[in-house]
Copies of this chain bind each other. A is one copy, B any other.
Amino acid sequence: MANVETKQLTEAQDRFVAAWGKMGTAWGISRTMAEVHALLYITGEPLCTDDVMERLQISRGNASMSLRALLEWGIVERVHRRGDRKEYFHAEQDVWVLFRAIVRERMKREVDPMRASLYEIRDMTSERAGERGGKDAKDPALAAHNKRIDSMLEFLETMEKMSASFVSPAGRGLQAAAKILGFVGGRAEPRPTGSKPDSEREAG
């Protein structure tokens, strides 16, 4: 039967979906959301809510929520087909674009608030706040504390700047850097198995 390959493919897709889902949870993304994304990525073609539901065996609500979240993250886009009222969803296919979107979102959602908190916390114990003495090296414990908060802040600022310039400007900062610095260039060491030269590239 011609379906030997189809079966192989389906099985491989399932494994990919599972692996991606597992990784997602480790990074604070709900398993289902990661799985939905994996499915869209690995099939490569637009799927509708029902496709996702069926393939992943999840409820309509869950599928809908996950898809919307993915849209918000900017790594999946709506596709309309003429003559079909249904909405289809298509995952970004360029891994680097995907990565940039993820970094951007995570910085926005997790690092920025942390930074804001740190500013507030610093202001709680800044010399100005103690006010009365006017002096500064009053309490060495307080000074040490402030120093720790400040180095944390300085670190976050640096990360922020780096990620910003890697993620946004012309678009492909990190990728370019990786190429220039010689990190890119195909398989690490030619593994016994696959040996395809990096013929493809430049997806998006």
Contact = CB atoms under 8 A, between A and B. Distances in A.
Interface string A23-66: 10111100000000000011010000000000000000000000
A19 B180 CA distance: 37
B28 A204 contact: no
Interface in A111-155: 113-114, 117-126, 128-130, 138-139, 141-142, 144-155
B160 A188 contact: yes
Interface string A77-103: 000000000000000010110010000
A157 B9 contact: no
Interface residues of A, number: 79
Mostly helix, strand, loop or mixed at chain A's interface? helix
Interface in A164-204: 165, 178, 181, 183-184, 186-188, 191, 193-194, 196, 198, 200-201, 203-204
For the complex of A and B, list the 4 residue pairs with the smallest distance between their C-beta atoms, beginning with the closest: A151-B203, A19-B117, A95-B155, A161-B183
